[in-house]
Chains A and B, each alone.
Chain A
Amino acid sequence: MPQSSQETPNNSYPGAPVRRLEDYGLLTGSAHFVDDLQLPGTLCAAFVRSPYAHALVNRTNTEEAAKAPGVVAVHTLPDLQPRLTDTRMATGLPSRSLRLDVKPGVLAGDEVVYAGEPVAVVIARSRYAAEDAADLVEVDYEPLDVVADCRSALHTDSSAVHRKLSHNMAAAFEFDYGNTEDAFRDADLAFRESFHLHRGGAHSIECRGAVARHDPATDHLTLWTSTQRPHGIKRVICDLLGRNDDSVRVIAPQVGGGFGPKLVCYPEEVVIALCATILQRPVKWIQDRYEYFLSTTQERDQYWDVEIALDSDATIRGMRGALLHDHGAYTARGLNVPYASGITLPLAYNIPAYHLDVYVALTNKVPVTPVRGAGQPQGVFVMERLLDRAAGKLSIDRAEVRRRNLVRKEQMPCRKSLRLRGDTEVILDSGDYPATQELALKHAGWDSFRERQQSALEQGRYIGIGLANFVEGTGRGPYETVTVRINASGNVAVASGATAMGQSTQTMLAQIVAEQLGGDPSRIGVTCGDTDATPLGFGGFNSRQTVIAGASAHAAARAVKAKAFKLASRLLEAAEHDLEIDGRAVFVKDAPDRRLTFAELARAASGLPGFKLPVADMGPGLEATESVIIDDMVYANGSAVAEVEVDIDTGRVTVLRFLVVHDCGRRLNPVIVDGQVLGGIAHGIGNALFEWMGFDEDAQPVTTTFADYLLVAADNMPEVRLFHLESDSPFNALGVKGVGESGCLPTPAAIVSAIEDALAPFGAKLNQAPLTPAVLWELIRSAPDSAPDTAPPGHWRAPDIDKDAYRQESLDGR
């Protein structure tokens, strides 16, 4: 594939913008989210949740609750156990690095390990009645010592998150290439910094929720659930309920945002499915926002202790250090978040030697799994802050330090000495990172900023500018199946294991298919997220679907087009190269009257009883199913520049201007690409300035409403400008890369860099995010008194850890 890197202005692109297939139903309210399903006779569930972060469950009395008005059933784990093949859910990805096997329970048994863990379920005629009765379930808890901080979790005298385990080291692994010893010995400059990064919840505006129905006549179980990964949920349901694959269907209806946590299979999904089979009535559970705060997975604390070695001209020699990651109480997904953090750190730059020890610590908190960006924003943050710091020490412009180290265009495809979690090599496929940065600087007026800053300062205003580069691995394989079919009624139907939660997945697939079959994409019907429509599938995460499902859609549409042409060629007695297709018919280019409609072609292709098919060497039907296998990821990149103003009196930060130059290869739909990046930036601003999921020393969550946990609102958004380069990926036929998460990768790094720049007169050193006004005010206030290299708050020095001292253990005692 040719590699092109030309700048394309934001709102002039070839072709008309495709109106989204999704819009009409969403705009009129007629689209159905899970809570909108109103099956006759539906019962509603409420869960009884642990008020303690760690306790023994001595006894549970459900008698009063069972007698309450409207209550149909109250179940605890012992009630459900006889109908389950296991009481624990195998939902995590495998890894040799795991030391502890800590799978979440279907419901808690004799021990609860985070506040909000489900202990019992109440099923009643309404959610109101279910909540009334849930308050009547008496649980005798015996509080145990709590591990509230991942830093103390690894101390040898720490209590255990799980009573049955002897330690809290869920996993330990490392990244290692090159010779860091030599790099640090020979470098002109080496220094060490520690960082504290916190992200918080995903907070899709739709919480989670599930509806299950069992049909006794067919023994068929259907689960509608607000998930990013219906196929993964189905696997767990089949395994735990002892059902074969043909008797379970999982459907993701309209999903009101995912942003990561909805890729996990949760206890509630299993319990609701099981209760529907026990009660022989549809059962609905809609998570409320309080439950979301308590029980939906989050990303929380990471502590980094990292050194960098450079030459005096700012050439990076090497990096080394340690990362401590808060894993929560269970492994709900795997090690992908800290793994992504560690792999992202050196991705955009040429770093000859790298060593990172990663420690993954259990805490008595809700499990950690990916939130939009999945550990990558933290890796970007640490790298970019270190480069800012190096620039300061070397008295070289921050952008120049980066330019000297960025992976260059002529290195592409660039083999990094890193491997993905499935052992595939990391090969940066395309892009011109220095040109991306250059363009960002130009549009931001980087070179003239010092003048603006000076004149602002003369008016008593503290403004600053910051820059951050990122490279994001997108398009996680190995495949996503897509079927394209021209039906006998003449319509085009597409089905995929891809799952939509707002990314315009249907429109994307329709566009790719329409490119081959012609016509208006809005006439194509697309089914996503239904395990009956596509038996194999993975779903939506890791900015993967345009790359992976897109490749299969492209291949399947081409195959259907080839069949249609072959058939039409025979029936119209015309050469294939003389044919054209327009979304409704195939016709002879120079004689459009000689045509066969899609309906005619599909009927001909399906054959008649007793007659030969029209084309002997072509199977029946105008249909193709493709699962293009893609193991390599493709790497999007970009550069962000933030301008901020700091109210030094209150610590309040206002983002004045923000821009991103972005390169995700070929943009299938520029409007949708911009929408994805904008949303990611808003999330990133939240991570930089607002979002903080607080817990007290007893690991009790303290920010459990939207009045305490602050999302970015319309008036916190600066005007954002987006620019694009298009370096087509050579690794897939469409030349595309993913875009769903990229906006949040560079944003906290760029904003914190800008804040530090604004506060240069105070010498404040900012090594953490989020930076709330209270934290920033304290940093401003204390900065003049502190020596330049004193430890900032959130400081962490990696202790000497003997990894071998932490044994393999399991909650099952294996």
Chain B
Amino acid sequence: MKPAPFTYHRPGNLEEALDILSQVAHEDGRILAGGQSLVPMMALRLAFPAHLVDINDIPSLQGIEVEQQSLVIRALARHAHFHQPAVSGPLGSMLATVAHSIAHYPIRQRGTFCGSLAHADPASEWCLTAVTLGGSVMAQNRNGSREIPAGTFIQGPMTTALEADEMITAVRLPIPDADSRFGFYEFNRRAGDFALAMCQVMFTPEEDRMTGVRLGIGGAEEVPRRLGEVEEMLTGQRLTEKVILSAAERAASMITPLEDIQTPVEYRRHLVGTSVRRALKAARDSGNER
């Protein structure tokens, strides 16, 4: 299990990185950030990039910042940077909750938020987060940059809208209302394992009814997605047991589950329902704690 040979590039600034990437793009040049998914694939010889452009030495790609009602997560922000809330309010707490579900402690020291989006594993917690919250991906090549909504950025399992000469410089997440509530539930075999199903939900209570509902499902289908129909069902409702159950039932029925030898389709569909229920209850209870 040794990676195949490749040429290594370590640019010191973004311009240099994009220049190199434009030159090596046609030879399967890839960005190396955390490497926690790419390197195992290379060790198993499932990936053979001819060039790796290591961006770890580019200072401008460090950090997480608030800019105009958005949280800007730059390319070198590691999972571990979210262990403590990266921003005050519900978003920071939610990201901390999600971060603790990602792999294990040492992996979180290296793996990056933006790298998770570039990798686009169906079981990625950050892909689900970006899609559910309506985040966008900042993609850049030598000729310029563009902002791609997360929902369209992720096109399939391990497939994104990123062009070969483009890299993710940041992901932008809108900062929700200070009184919004969130819930997250992931089912996996052991802590840190790939999700078999997960649900992320966020809404703003008005009186005791839900508005601005966002509900996303990950780990269960080829790509994470919001379930608009379920969001509509929930909008204007109180979070009663009955509402929770019918939302879960609807969500489960809408899913086209992934199948693998250890996870039958009907089981995964069921887990989606369970995840929706448990995420909604977590959101409800997060309100009660205040």
Contact B1 A774 (CB under 8 A): no
CA distance A127 to B43 in the complex (A): 12
Assembly CA distance A707 to B262 (angstroms): 12
Minimal Cβ-Cβ distance residue in B for A131:
B2
Interface of B, secondary structure class, is loop
B4 near A774 (CB under 8 angstroms)?
A: no
Q: A411 CA to B270 CA in the complex, in Å?
A: 53
Is B113 close to A, CB under 8 A? no
Q: Does A805 contact B (CB under 8 A)?
A: no
Instruction: Assess whether B194 is in contact with A707, with CB atoms less than 8 Å apart.
Output: yes
Measured CB to CB, the closest approach of chain B to A209, in angstroms, equals 13
A124 to chain B, nearest CB (A): 11
Given A289-B1, A650-B187, A707-B193, do A702 and B263 touch, yes or no (CB 8 Å)? no
Name the contact of B190 in the complex, choosing from A694, A708, A716 (C-beta under 8 A): A716
- Please report the C-alpha to C-alpha distance between residue A649 and residue B281 in the assembled complex, in whole angstroms: 15
Q: Is A128 in contact with B2, judged by CB distance below 8 angstroms?
A: yes
With both chains docked as a complex, state the minimum distance between the C-beta of B50 and any C-beta of chain A, in angstroms.
14
A359 CB within 8 Å of chain B: no
Inter-subunit contact B271/A288 (CB<8 Å): no
B101: interface (CB < 8 Å): no
B274 at the interface (CB under 8 A from A): yes
> Is the CB–CB distance between A710 and B193 below 8 Å?
yes
Interfacial chain A residues near B267, Cβ < 8 Å? 651, 773-774, 777-778
| B106 contacts chain A at the CB level, 8 A cutoff | no
A705 and B261 contacting across the interface, CB-CB below 8 Å: no
Q: Does any Cβ of A come within 8 Å of B264's Cβ?
A: yes
A631 adjacent to chain B (CB < 8 Å): no
Interface size class of chain A, counting residues whose CB lies under 8 Å from the partner chain? 20 to 34
With beta carbons under 8 angstroms apart, the residue of A650, A696, A702 that contacts B274 is A650
In the complex, residue of chain B having the shortest beta-carbon distance to the beta carbon of A44: B2
Once A290-B44, A707-B194 are accepted as A-B contacts, the answer to whether A692 and B2 lie under 8 Å apart by CB is no
B290 interfacial contact with A, CB 8 Å: no
Asked if A132 is at the interface of the complex by the 8 Å CB criterion, the answer is yes
Q: How far is the CB of A647 from chain B (nearest CB, A)?
A: 9
A715 at the interface (CB under 8 A from B): yes
**Given that A690-B189, A707-B193 are known contacts, is A777 also in contact with B44, CB under 8 Å in the complex?**
no
Q: Are B261's CB and A694's CB within 8 A?
A: yes
Task: Please state if A649 and B1 are interface contacts (CB–CB under 8 Å).
Answer: no
Verify if A713 is at the interface (C-beta below 8 Å from B). yes
**How many residue pairs bridge A and B at CB < 8 Å?**
54
**Number of B residues contacting the other chain (C-beta, 8 Å)?**
23
Contact, CB under 8 Å: B270 / A777: yes
Chain B residues positioned under 8 Å from A650 (CB to CB) = 187, 271, 274
A128-B2, A288-B1 are contacts. A778–B191 as well, Cβ < 8 Å?
Answer: no
**Chain B: minimal CB distance from A289 (Å):** 7
A135 to B46, CA, bound (A): 13
Are B4 and A132 neighbours in the complex by a CB distance under 8 Å? yes
Tell me if A491 counts as interface (CB < 8 A to partner B).
no
Interface residue? A158 (CB, 8 A)? no
Q: Report B229-262 CB contacts with A as 1/0, cut-off 8 Å.
A: 0000000000000000000000000000000011
The answer, yes or no, to whether B5 is at the interface (CB within 8 Å) is yes
Q: B1-32 vs A: 1/0 string, CB under 8 Å?
A: 11111000000000000000000000000000
Q: Which residues of A contact B192 (CB under 8 A)?
A: 713
CB neighbours of B4 from chain A (8 A): 132
Q: Is the CB of B263 within 8 A of A774?
A: yes
Closest to A651 in B: B267
A705 to B45, CA, bound (A): 13
The docked-state distance in angstroms from the alpha carbon of A164 to that of B270 is 48
Complex Cα–Cα for A127 and B1 (A):
9
**What residues of A have a CB within 8 angstroms of the CB of B194 in the complex?**
707
State whether the Cβ of A772 lies closer than 8 Å to any Cβ in chain B: yes
Most chain B beta-carbon neighbours within 10 Å: one of A649, A651, A710: A649
Hey, what's the 0/1 contact readout for A740-781 against B, CB within 8 Å counting as 1? 000000000000000000000000000000001110011000
The residue in chain A whose Cβ has the minimal distance to the Cβ of B103 is: A707
Give A693-737 as 1s and 0s: 1 = Cβ < 8 Å from B's Cβ atoms. 010100000110101101001011000000000000000000000
CB distance from B166 to the nearest CB of A (A): 29
| CA distance in complex: A668, B255 (Å) | 59
Report whether A778 and B264 are in contact in the complex, using a CB–CB cutoff of 8 Å: yes
* Complex CA–CA separation, A46 to B194 (angstroms): 31
What 0/1 pattern do residues 640 to 670 of A give for CB contact below 8 A with B? 0000000001111000000000000000000
Q: A690, A713, A774 — which one has the most chain B CB atoms within 10 A of its CB? A: A774
A782 to chain B, nearest CB (A): 11
1/0 per residue B167-195: CB within 8 Å of A?
A: 00000000000000000000101111110
A-contact bits for B44-55, CB 8 A (1 contact / 0 none): 110000000000
Contacts of B1 in A (CB 8 A): 131, 288-290
Q: Tell me the nearest residue of chain A to B267, going by C-beta.
A: A774
* Chain B residues within an 8 Å CB radius of A710: 189-190, 193
Residues from chain A with a CB closer than 8 A to the CB of B40 are 705
- Can you report 12 residue pairs joining A to B where beta carbons are below 8 Å apart? A127-B2, A649-B274, A650-B271, A652-B187, A703-B262, A707-B193, A708-B262, A710-B190, A710-B193, A774-B262, A774-B267, A778-B267
Q: Can you add 14 more A-B contacts, CB < 8 Å, to A649-B274, A773-B189?
A: A131-B1, A132-B4, A132-B5, A290-B1, A650-B187, A650-B274, A652-B187, A690-B189, A705-B44, A707-B193, A713-B191, A715-B191, A772-B262, A778-B267
Nearest 5 CB-CB pairings of A with B: A288-B1, A128-B2, A774-B267, A131-B2, A649-B274
